[in-house]
Amino acid sequence: MIPCIRHAALLCLLLLAALLVNAVRVQVVQAPALDGNPANRRPVMARYAEPRGDIVVDGRPVTGSVDTGEQLRHERTYTDGPLYAPVTGHSSQTYGTTLLEDAEDPVLSGTSPMLTAIPFWHDFSRTRPPGGHVVTTVREPLQRVAYEGLAGRRGAVAALEPSSGRILALVSSPSYDPAVLSGTGRPVAAAWARLNAARDQPMLNRALRQTYPPGSTFKIVTAAAAMDAGIVTDVDAPTGAPDPYLLPGTRTVLPNEAKGCGNASLAYAIRWSCNTVMAHLGVRVGSAGMLDAVSRFGFNDSSLRVPSPVARSNFDNGMSTDRLALSAIGQYDTRATPLQMAMVAAAVANGGEIAQPHLVERTTTADGDTVAQHVRRTYRQAMLPPTALRLQELMVDVVDGGSGSKAAIAGARVGGKTGTAQHGVGNTGTPYAWFIGWAQAEGTGRPAVAVAVVVEDASARREDISGGGSAAPIARSVMEEALREEERRGAARDGAGGLPGPYGRGGPFGPFGP
């Protein structure tokens, strides 16, 4: 009898060991493959089992979650979806995530190890903390003014605080409502197909992901290169540039829209946007010198993140001299994102230094405790400080007495540069209207905002399109609002001992500020 009991016990032990081995095989060895199996819906169900954290603008959430009661329980919602879509992107149960919803997904979904005090605790416990929140640098009044200024026309606006690199507004038009993509089923699939087929590409983030020929706004970069290289030492001295200017090695004559550009000074050329002078200076700087100069502004950088990825702004390497001349005035293959051109304006406004541009001020837990805080750092030293000071004067002259007069603001110091970029085969496409600039209130020590505006106005007559006419008024509205914001923040600091929102704590959204 005893041997039988022993044999039975041994068999039970062997069976138990086999069960344990099989459990280890399934739970440990095969776990990654099973988790990644498309037929396994548990990870997807777990992802949407809890509400997603929020993206916050000016202390208020512009996102939310609704309990649908379905298997994929919580669905993303958006407040003013088209207004903030270029910032938030979308979080779709069917089509994934984009922009901040993607770049900050670990925090928003609650999977970031930074959201728990004990590292890897949730990996062992198979639980996850509530989704954290992302506090942006965007200021609602500037975002709204920029959006309304474009009024549905194709184009984009990017506005920065030059001293810190905070992105104060990021608008792409036309836009779309990310909420139509949040769920699953036929309506979502139909919305996806409709948006992707739309001629105006509403899901394209023109501020970050679209590059344009910058036209005459690029002349600020060429002017900085010529001054830093010592080719121009006196901005009021004649440059020796002929008018007309024959592109080197060709029979092609480069025209001017402005009068009086023959042998004009750099100051005159910037004020009235002389193509011949700036092309001539670009050739004198040379290909290597121009490449070095543009890289200091951020051109040809594929690694820029804000934290959403930014398309690479281009300046060609190894060009012939005639193409270099065209590139120096923002034509040929020179292309830039609106954010890049806002960084050019910010470099001039900030004494030559470009602060790292960023959209996220800090991330927090669901309770509002700070998880990570942005630390200011330098992105590039674009030019020498004396060069920046002289360019400030030249850009102020453009607004006070040149082609950018529609950007002038009473009681403020405003610098700007207009641009009308030709494109298409034989330059037959409708030109893009550009304006870049910055504004500084009287009695303050530094500019409050740098802005870039591009308008693709296919409905306008070709002869009516110009940076001064189409883009400058939008830029002026954004800069005016930025100056008002700066005044309000100053009053809040003086009256309340500190400003809430991204710069402090308190307000109607708990720890996130107003």
Q: Which residues are catalytic?
A: 216
Q: Under DSSP, is residue 307 helix (H, G, I), strand (E, B) or coil?
A: coil
**Residues 6+ away with beta carbon under 8 Å from 186:** none
CA distance 67 to 49: 9
Burial (CB < 10 A; 0-12, 13-18, 19+), residue 369, is: exposed
CA distance 18 to 12: 10
Tokens 């209207």, residue located? 433
**Residues 6+ away with beta carbon under 8 Å from 85:** 78, 172, 175, 176, 177, 178
Tokens 């505006």, residue located? 453
Three-state secondary structure readout of 16-31: HHHHHHHHHHHHHHCH
- Which parts of 248-381 fold into alpha helices (H)? 266-272, 275-285, 287-297, 321-327, 338-349
Sign of the dihedral through C-alpha 32, 38, 39, 42 = positive
N-to-C CA span, the chain:
81
- Sheet hosting strand 432-441, strand order edge to edge: 167-173, 154-160, 449-456, 432-441, 412-421
User: Half-sphere exposure of 37 toward its Cβ, with a 13 Å CA cutoff?
Assistant: 10
CA 127 to chain centre: 34
C-alpha dist (Å) from residue 317 to 138, 221, 302, 323: 35, 16, 15, 11
Two tokens at 50? 């809890």
